[in-house]
Chain A
Amino acid sequence: MANTAAINGINGLRDIRRSPASHLAAALEAGSIQGTVVLKEGPFQTMAGVRVDPRSEEGARIAAVARSLPARCGDVGGTDRVTVLWLGPSEFLVVAPEEAHDSLGGDLIGSLVAALGEAPGQVVDLSANRTTFELSGPRARAALEKGCALDLHPRSFTVGTALSTEIGNIPVVLQKTGEESFRLFPRASFADFLGRWLLDAVREFASPEVP
């Protein structure tokens, strides 16, 4: 993983942390086809699961911390740095860079907990729950379409939206970050399977297209 030495983790544990698909890093690099489709595991991120009624007072306080809460399925709130994915009408996933975690000098979790206060709802640190795969390139959509029933055509799946669905029978949150780039958030225990599944999906694009 990138830049692990720069951050001093709690009790030295940060240095021995391994991301769920770290054992696939070399395979992902070897399986990527530059200029066609590139697959890699993203860096660690701080994630918080938030359950709050967005129309309530505490929902407004949470929205103030995260800048905004997405209103409906597919919406992504927050800022470029701290994104808030819609998981349900009262359930959200806050994703931020690793440095935002309280143990590394940030204040994301603490400020969300403080914003919720004693009100009904929950804020849970889910930083280790999911990993991130970054898939980009002109054939990224074609690779995903092999195992995703959603309409991924740009006219319906636009940049800056995220949907929770199944890819290769794995429940993931699929975020479209650019015209040809996607972020996939599978749970950690599915990372190995999904990484290998994606490698298999992109393999055909290494060969010249058969007319």
Chain B
Amino acid sequence: MLLISCPNCGSRDETEFHYGGQAHVPYPENPAGLNDREWAEFLFYRDNTKGAFAERWLHSTGCRQWFNMLRDTVTYDIQAIYPMGTPRPATAAATSVIAPEGATK
């Protein structure tokens, strides 16, 4: 069970939250100009980062507000929680990741 620090409500159980997928995926400036592949990539293609990953969360049984979280997908360490609309905070990216032998990313 993760303990997530909601910016409004403080530390709560993970079960009170809903995951909202990758953060900072910009809506295309000209959606009508996209071809099928580009549109599919905007809709369905997401990073599968090993290490620090910026994602959206919703405190659904608390204040019902969205926020962004920088979480390590390996250690589940929550590195930062910041409001929607603000840029991803700089971190010592992926220092916690122990890369398996032969891995490039």
Residues of A within 8 A of B (CB): 72-73, 87-89, 91, 149-150, 163-166, 169, 171
Q: Is the CB of A166 within 8 A of B63?
A: no
Enumerate chain A residues within 8 angstroms of B20, measured Cβ to Cβ: none
Q: Is the CB of A165 within 8 A of B16?
A: yes
Task: Please count how many residues in chain B sit with their CB below 8 Å of the partner chain's CB atoms.
Answer: 12
Q: Is the CB of B16 within 8 A of A166?
A: yes
The 8 A CB mask of B63-85 against A (1 = contact, 0 = none) is 11100000000000000000000
Known: A165-B16, A166-B15, A166-B16. A89 touches B61 (CB 8 A): no
Cβ-based interface call for B49 (8 A): no
Enumerate chain B residues within 8 angstroms of A169, measured Cβ to Cβ: 15
Q: B interface, by DSSP: helix, strand, loop or mixed?
A: loop
**Which residue of B8, B61, B64, B65 contacts A165 across the interface (Cβ within 8 Å)?**
B61
Cβ-based interface call for B38 (8 A): no
Q: Is the CB of B64 within 8 A of A73?
A: no
Question: A163–B9 Cα gap in the complex (Å)?
Answer: 9
Q: A interface, by DSSP: helix, strand, loop or mixed?
A: strand
Q: What's the nearest-Cβ distance from chain B to residue A207, in Å?
A: 30
Q: Is the CB of A149 within 8 A of B63?
A: no
Within 8 A of A (CB), among B12-69: 12-13, 15-16, 61-65
Enumerate chain B residues within 8 angstroms of A87, measured Cβ to Cβ: 63-64
Q: Is the CB of B61 within 8 A of A73?
A: no
Enumerate chain B residues within 8 angstroms of A88, measured Cβ to Cβ: 8, 62-65
Residue pairs across A and B with Cβ atoms less than 8 A apart, 20 shown, are A73-B9, A73-B62, A73-B63, A88-B8, A88-B62, A88-B63, A88-B64, A88-B65, A89-B65, A149-B15, A150-B12, A163-B9, A164-B63, A165-B12, A165-B16, A165-B61, A166-B16, A166-B61, A169-B15, A171-B61
Residues of B within 8 A of A (CB): 8-10, 12-13, 15-16, 61-65
Q: Is the CB of B16 within 8 A of A89?
A: no
Q: Is the CB of A73 within 8 A of B15?
A: no
Q: Is the CB of A73 within 8 A of B16?
A: no
Q: What's the nearest-Cβ distance from chain B to residue A40, in Å?
A: 25
Question: A15–B13 Cα gap in the complex (Å)?
Answer: 42
Question: A88–B9 Cα gap in the complex (Å)?
Answer: 9
Question: A72–B6 Cα gap in the complex (Å)?
Answer: 12
Question: A73–B61 Cα gap in the complex (Å)?
Answer: 13
Enumerate chain B residues within 8 angstroms of A166, measured Cβ to Cβ: 13, 15-16, 61
Enumerate chain A residues within 8 angstroms of B16, measured Cβ to Cβ: 165-166
